[in-house]
Amino acid sequence: MSLERSALPLGDDRTRSRPESGPLTLSLIKRYLDAGRLWLRKAMAPGGITGVIMALVFVIGTDFFLLILRYIQELPPVSLTSLIPIVVAAMLWGTASAVVTTIGCALSLSYFFYSPFYATAADRSRVLGIIVFLVVSLVLGYLAARTRRDAARALKRENEIRDLYTFSQRLSSAQSPAGIFEAMQQHLETLVGRKVLLFDSLGTLEAKSELLGDVEIPPAVTETVSKMSAAATDSHGIVVDDHRGSAWLVRPVSTNAADFGVIAIDLGRPSEVFDELRARVVALIGDAGLSLERLGLARTISEARTRAETEQFREALIGSVSHELRTPLSSILGASTVLSLAPEVAGNARLKKLAALIHQESERLNVEIQNILDASRISSNGLQAKLEWAEPADFINAALQRCRNRLTSRAVEVALPEELILLRIDSVLMERALGQILDNAAKYSPPESPINVRGHIESGQFVISVTDQGAGLDADDRTLLGQKFFRGNRHSQVTSGLGLGFWIASAFVAANNGTIEATSEGVNKGMTVTVRLPLPMKENHADEGE
């Protein structure tokens, strides 16, 4: 399959690619304009025709200047004056321009300023002077060219380093193999400026460049990729023709680690720069592969893949389990509440208690299922806060209302500011977060102890604090609180629950751009959970709606 490219026909790109382009004259004009622009750029470059023309202009300019100066005052050594145009020409247009300037100046100066005036006489000292000036111009031209080259190289290196830096940053922030591959592919795309495809170690397409659009992947490329994935090949890769006149380089990203997958790059039509481009791309991939190996990413990628699969499986399991649990639970909960309503049960204290028990326990089950669902939504990054203008009082009331069954036995004191406060929040998520906090407060404090809910404004934030007089936190609790499935050792025997509450609350608060913090004076000294939400910038919304 590997067609080493020999001499492929060099078709005329323009005429073939756009045969249908409307008015012929317009495309013709565009073509000539393009050609003109190209020529101009070439002419302006060091060594171009402009340099020679400008050299002549310089010579004439210098002569005029000196001639005018001669009428005003005594002349300085004229040969030294001619150094200025030589230096400028050397710096701007390179050696050729400088040489022309030197010769031009030498000839014209000897003609105008040295006796015999207005005649070119070749005496020996003047020839020597010209030679010295020629050497100076050559040296200067060389120096200028080198400086220019160094500057260009430095700029290129800087760009490459910047790209590499962005690339490495993206690599380190990538959380999945897909992210890593995307970063690689984009990096190569910027450097080469061509279509880039990345296949994972199994031969499936991981990422493709945006340049590709909807263009199908050449079958020849796919075939080579699948072959290559099985056995690593040499570092130069294989060039494949896609039968549309474009050559694709196919190469494993790393010749040592198969996990990095295979890369395919469209190198375009063969031209004089083809080999150079290919060598550059190969070197680039080699570098990228090496740095990937150095970063130990091979392992990371395979680990991430395993993790992603496990996670996916776990999510699917949780999703279906909770759905399967919820459906019968709806019937149990509903039926138990019907039982409580029935006069036969309502009139019999013992039966009524039993019905209430079924009802309470199924409600608890429902809460835990909801927590598992929330937790899986958080872990799978499925949490999307819908931020809207809302009053904090609304979600605080709703949370209290939802938890009222657990709070019946105690005094709940709520203190909120008198004035209207508007926050940009997702009220539903905040209500759930506060519900978890209240639920924990009720769970870990004596049944008759009061709970305080306070809301106030403090340094540009709306602060809600929930204070209980319960078990408090010990040193271990303080470090572990906030972790998924954490439950304090002291409580696991006493109360039920999965230990998801605070973790869920933290995630919900974070989704609202807020922070959450738990403080305690110590064991059995109660606990305060503080939620801080950003207050939006003060806007003038007074009576806008009237």
Partner 1 sequence: MAEGDQHVLIVDDEAQIRQFVRAGMELGGYRVTEAANGSDALREITLHPIDLVILDLALPDIDGSELLERIRGWSGVPVIILSVRAGETEKVKLLELGADDYVVKPFFMSELLARAKVVLRRQSERKDGESALRLDRLVIDFAARTVELDGKRLNLTPKEYRLLQVLAQHPGKVITHQNLLKSVWGQAHVNNTQYLRIFVRKLRQKIEVDPNRPKILLTELGVGYRLSDPASRDHVRLE
Stretch that binds partner 1, among 187-195, 218-226, 335-343, 461-469 (CB under 8 A): 335-343
Q: Tell me which stretch binds partner 1 (CB under 8 A): 190-198, 310-318, 387-395, 438-446.
A: 387-395
Which one of 27, 408, 492, 496 is in contact with partner 1 (CB under 8 A)? 408
340-379 residues near partner 1, rule: CB under 8 A: 340-342, 356, 359, 362, 366
> What count of other Cβ atoms lies within 10 Å of the Cβ of residue 322?
18
Segment interacting with partner 1, rule: CB under 8 A, options 83-91, 169-177, 298-306, 420-428: 420-428
Enter the DSSP assignment of 474: -
Identify how many contiguous H helices and E strands the chain contains and give both numbers.
18, 12
Residue 413: CB minimum distance to partner 1, A: 12
**Does position 148 bind partner 1 by CB under 8 A?**
no
Q: Between 524 and 543, how does the x/- string for binding to partner 1 read (CB under 8 A)?
A: -----------------x--
Q: How far is the CB of 541 from partner 1 (least distance, A)?
A: 6
Count other Cβ atoms within 10 Å, centred on residue 445.
21
The residue (of 428 and 535) whose beta carbon lies closer to partner 1 is 428
Q: Is 138 in the site for partner 1 (CB under 8 A)?
A: no
Residue with tokens 């696991």, as numbered in its chain: 492
Q: Is residue 326 within the footprint of partner 1 (CB under 8 A)? A: yes
Closest CA to 300 of 163, 181, 165: 181
Q: Indicate the helix (H) or strand (E) that contains 373.
A: helix 349-379
Stretch of 109-117, 130-138, 336-344, 492-500 contacting partner 1, by CB under 8 A: 336-344
Among 333, 375, 378, 453, binds partner 1 (CB under 8 A): 333
- Comparing CA positions, the residue from 486, 514, 519 lying closest to residue 502 is 486
Q: Site for partner 1 (CB under 8 A): which residue of 6, 25, 125, 327?
A: 327
Structure tokens, 338:
């019907």
Q: Which residues contact 543 (CB under 8 A, 6 or more apart)?
A: none
Question: Residue 443 or 490: which CB sits closer to partner 1?
Answer: 443
Distances in Å between the alpha carbon of 209 and those of 177, 236, 245, 502? 16, 22, 20, 42
Are 114 and 142 a contacting pair, CB within 8 Å? Answer: no
Question: H-helix or E-strand containing 428?
Answer: helix 427-443
CA distances from 460 to 423, 456, 535 (A): 11, 10, 6
Residue 91 CB neighbour total at 10 angstroms: 18
Distance of closest approach, residue 353 Cβ to partner 1, in angstroms: 11
d(C-alpha 191, C-alpha 280), whole Å: 10
Q: Minimum distance from CB of 485 to partner 1 (Å)?
A: 24
Q: Which is nearer to partner 1, 70 or 404 (CB)?
A: 404
| DSSP at 210 | G
Residue type, 229: S
CA 408 to chain centre: 50
Q: Which CB atom, from 149 or from 404, has the smaller least distance to partner 1? A: 404
Q: Enumerate residues 435-454 that contact partner 1 by CB under 8 A.
A: none
For the chain, what is the radius of gyration of the CA atoms?
40
Contact predicate 82/61, CB 8 Å: no
Q: Which is nearer to partner 1, 288 or 399 (CB)?
A: 399
CB closer to partner 1, 148 vs 424: 424
Q: State which of residues 80, 349, 420, 475 lies at the interface with partner 1 (CB under 8 A).
A: 420
Q: Which of 49, 138, 428, 498 binds partner 1 (CB under 8 A)?
A: 428
Cα–Cα nearest to 362, from 402, 323, 335, 324: 335
User: Pick from 49, 391, 452, 524: which binds partner 1 (CB under 8 A)?
Assistant: 391
Indicate whether 431 belongs to the interface with partner 1 (CB under 8 A).
yes
Among residues 10, 38, 316, 414, the one that binds partner 1 under rule CB under 8 A: 414
Q: Between 227 and 406, whose beta carbon lies closer to partner 1?
A: 406
Q: Choose the binding region for partner 1 from 137-145, 178-186, 381-389, 518-526 (rule: CB under 8 A).
A: 381-389
SS3 of 79-128: the string is: HHHCHHHHHHHHHHHCHHHHHHHHHHHHHHHHHHHCCCCCCCCCCHHHHH
Cβ proximity to partner 1, 386 vs 525, nearer residue: 386
Binding footprint of partner 1, residue count (CB under 8 A): 45
Identity of the residue numbered 492: S
For the bound state, the minimum distance from the C-beta of residue 461 to partner 1, rounded and expressed in Å, comes to: 19
Residue position matching structure tokens 């605070």: 502
Residue 134 or 390 with smaller CB distance to partner 1: 390
Stretch that binds partner 1, among 140-148, 259-267, 325-333, 439-447 (CB under 8 A): 325-333
The residue (of 497 and 536) whose beta carbon lies closer to partner 1 is 536
CB of 454 to partner 1, least distance (A): 12
What residues form DSSP beta bridges with 462? Answer: 457, 533
Judge whether 526 and 463 are in contact, CB under 8 Å.
no
Piece of 105-113, 160-168, 199-207, 400-408 that binds partner 1 (CB under 8 A): 400-408
Of the listed pieces 127-135, 286-294, 404-412, 468-476, which binds partner 1 according to CB under 8 A?
Answer: 404-412
Report how far residue 299's alpha carbon sits from residue 266's, in angstroms, rounded to the nearest whole number: 29
Helix (H) / strand (E) element for 459: namely none
Q: Which is nearer to partner 1, 11 or 328 (CB)?
A: 328
CA angle 519, 525, 527 (to 5 degrees): 30
In the complex, the residues that contact partner 1 under the rule CB under 8 A are 326-335, 337-338, 340-342, 356, 359, 362, 366, 386, 388-391, 393-395, 397-398, 404-405, 408, 414, 416, 418, 420, 422, 426-428, 431, 541, 544-546
